[in-house]
Amino acid sequence: MKSFLSFLSEARTSQASEMASRQNLSGDGHGNWYDKDGNRVAVTKKGKLEMLSKKERQEEPESEEKNVTPKQEQPAQQSVQQGQQPVQQGEFGTFGDGTPRRMPMPTRADGSPKEDLGDLTIVFGRFNPPTIGHQKLLDAARKEAGKGRLKIYPSRTQDKKKNPYDADEKVDIMKQMMPDHADNIINDPNSKTIFDVLKQGYDDGHSNVKIVVGADRVKEFAKLSGDYNGKLYDFSGVEVVSAGDRDPDSEGVEGMSASKMRKAAADNDFKTYRGGIPTNIDDKTAKVMMNTLRKRMQVKEGWSLWEIAPKFDWKNLRENYVSNKIFQKDDMIENLNHGLVGKIIRRGTNYVIAVTEDNIMFKSWLRDVTEAVVNYSGPSGVPASQREVGTNSHREYVSRLSGLKDIKNFINKHKKNKKD
């Protein structure tokens, strides 16, 4: 049973959200409210919506990074969503635990309700490239899932700088590196964002969901997944769980990241790169992996660290941002953590605020975004959907991957000799 203080807190949050909704304002999840042009015009104070003066509107909201303490970044349960309107009991029935449903139950083709599949545990990540650090993440997810279902979704984001592998390549490499999780890795072209994954889990008939992420992403995923529970999907409970902290200065698993691996590949530093590959992969294969990553990144002399691994070169990333060379207003960007794509409507000191085509507003730190790439075909120049064996596009794909410039047609040559 909820405490009286918890009830008051939820009521106040709902009150502020309701007032903001009436004025067509959108929140960033941190108490700030913006108009349709991306201007900060109000804040939540003591559960109520308070409009800002002209002077206050010019002030930047405090950086989330300054306000978040290590304690706040620990695993957080999100069974109660902020800004969500209460639903009358019985409108759509209840879950097995008695929690009221806010949306109709998923149904089969014949209209009958689907079977309750119970708990679902989700991992949604870039894995670009996969590392031993990701092994730790997946092991933690397996533990959280218990006897429930576990589904691992590599994101579909791809570009030659921060996301060099396409989804097909990532899945293949992950299954080689982490065979114990191979059956749980899902290669679904329709799962481009965390919302796509959550909606699929709801449509399949799951009633509870856990999302396992790194400690530095708990708050972001908790806010997003909680705010839209009962709107885009409906679960009795949404829980965001930390897979543990990462220490960038550590030499072991805790210090390994995809950013460090991309930097090692660009530096042609096999020793560091090898440290991020599990021991079940031999040195020869690991070397091939690194060289392939270098090709995908199209590493050239004079490459910029801030473009391929911004967390290691924050200064130059910010300088390019401040000078308006990147992430300008109205640019399309993609959040690399959850996959949402939107148009920038506001540029902050170290963040941007964007809105999707579905009018979902999201805030992203500069290090977590990339310019949205539409229909990026990858290093082969051929989209994954056009790589069917036996087609000319598949021949082109294989040629570019292997470095071949010409493939002789031995069948036609044989026919010609036979005629002679």
What CATH number has the domain bearing residue 223? 3.40.50.620
Q: From residue 181, give the alpha-carbon distance in Å to each of 152, 169, 261, 397.
A: 8, 16, 21, 28
Regarding whether 209 and 355 lie in a shared domain, the answer is: no
Q: What is the pLDDT of residue 74?
A: 37
Regarding whether 280 and 160 lie in a shared domain, the answer is: no
Q: What is the pLDDT of residue 266?
A: 95
Regarding whether 215 and 162 lie in a shared domain, the answer is: yes
- The DSSP bridge pattern shows strands 332-335 and 32-34 to be unpaired
Q: What is the pLDDT of residue 20?
A: 79
CA gap 322, 29 in Å, rounded? 24
Residue 247 lies in a domain: no
Residue 378 lies in a domain: no
Regarding whether 408 and 260 lie in a shared domain, the answer is: no
The per-residue pLDDT for range 297-342, each reduced to its tens digit, is 998 888 899 999 998 999 999 999 999 999 999 999 999 999 999 9
CA gap 150, 119 in Å, rounded? 9
Regarding whether 183 and 89 lie in a shared domain, the answer is: yes
Q: What is the pLDDT of residue 245?
A: 79
Surface-to-core class of residue 198, CB atoms within 10 Å of its CB (0-12 exposed, 13-18 middle, 19+ buried): buried
Regarding whether 236 and 297 lie in a shared domain, the answer is: no
Q: What is the pLDDT of residue 71?
A: 36
Q: Which domain holds residue 310?
A: 253-371
CA gap 83, 21 in Å, rounded? 10
Residue 379 lies in a domain: no
Where the chain has pLDDT below 70, the residues are 1-14, 28-30, 37, 46, 58-90, 246-252, 373-420
Answer whether 124's CB lies under 8 Å from 197's CB: yes
Residue 393 backbone phi and psi in degrees, to 5: -65, -35
- Please state the domain count of the chain: 4
Regarding whether 294 and 153 lie in a shared domain, the answer is: no
381: left (phi over 0), alpha (psi -120 to 50) or beta: left
Please name which of 96, 184, 163, 173 lies closest in space to residue 131, comparing C-alpha atoms. Answer: 173
Q: What is the pLDDT of residue 391?
A: 61
Q: What is the pLDDT of residue 390?
A: 56
Regarding whether 105 and 26 lie in a shared domain, the answer is: no
Residue 376 lies in a domain: no
Evaluate the CA torsion angle 29, 35, 39, 42 in order and state its sign.
Answer: negative
**Does this model's pTM top 0.85?**
no
Please name which of 315, 356, 318, 314 lies closest in space to residue 335, comparing C-alpha atoms. Answer: 356
Regarding whether 199 and 177 lie in a shared domain, the answer is: yes
Regarding whether 215 and 88 lie in a shared domain, the answer is: yes
Last residue of a domain, one of 215, 242, 269: 242
Residue 377 lies in a domain: no
